[in-house]
Copies of this chain bind each other. A is one copy, B any other.
């Protein structure tokens, strides 16, 4: 599974993104169309493409913009959406997903993108890239359109793990703050902990515990903690980062996407209703297009895996070329700014502090040694 250089080698100054061409609902042609879109907009980007090489070469040959910018890793096997993560881990070696992560692991690429099975991708990422020291559960962070000036809020976890205890939620707060600071240029991001109400007595026991923990580390980790927030604050302006467990976060983003989709459908229907409204819709096309661009989930497509040694972007399984291109853009940005390394340094140091505070016995000696 070494990378076979194409006839024209990729320019050495290019930032190389490793792309799993298989596993998405729309197949490799959507993935190749997506990277072509990215290549067109961004001369600094190059690719290593993972999957059945013959098929991929044929698809790439149709896109002149990709000429000389793609290397191949032949991987005949595919992780499907139905594969259980446990089974994938045992039989992953020949798959395009494994191969895509391998390119990040060995330094050939600075980030990986896959449209495949989320659970399998996370399981393989943890095994191949390893967790940052001190991180218990990695998380998937996404951008949710919001009323904040930056246009988006970060939410995590949205499905890496369905469980999260108070300590995990603290780590999510630290990682989310770091992502918002580096990825969105927010010097002191505001962190909110998702609950069913903003009153202090509400919610599950682990949330009350997490509230106390996160408040305690806000200053050291350079964020503001706004306390409990509700579902309505996910697209709101109360917080920049919404922290929750992967079950709740996953339901929330899908509910948001579904609601936006319903409104879009009803809007199209409403505009068909009369001659005046049809005329209005013609006049309003540019406004509606602008709005669509702003909230189109394809354009903010890409969950970032946080807490690993390396950048992995999970694109939506149903992503088309626009969606794949957005995920590639995100991987490129994060790679270019060295976000993964910055996050590792930041989180590791704060997590050490947290461990000192929370578990005063046992791990302290080891932590001190690492610090020294």
Interface set of A (CB-CB < 8 Å, partner B): 81-82, 84, 119, 145-147, 159, 162, 194, 196, 199, 201-204, 230-236, 244, 246-248, 250-263, 265-267, 270-271, 273-274, 276-277, 279-284, 286-288, 290-291, 294-295
Contacts and interface: CB of A to CB of B under 8 A. Distances in A.
Contact of A281 (B146, B253, B280, B294): B280
Given A196-B246, A231-B253, A290 B270 contact: yes
Closest 8 CB pairs of A and B: A231-B254, A280-B283, A280-B284, A232-B258, A231-B255, A270-B287, A277-B287, A235-B262
A270 to B, nearest CB: 4
Contacts of A194: 251
Given A254-B230, A258-B234, A277 B284 contact: yes
A262 B231 contact: no
A254 B266 contact: no
B260 A231 contact: no
A235 B250 contact: no
Nearest to A290: B270
Contact of A232 (B196, B247, B254, B294): B254
A188 to B, nearest CB: 23
Contact of A295 (B145, B248, B263, B282): B263
A260 B262 CA distance: 10
Contacts of A247: 196, 203-204, 248
Contact of A251 (B231, B266, B277, B288): B231
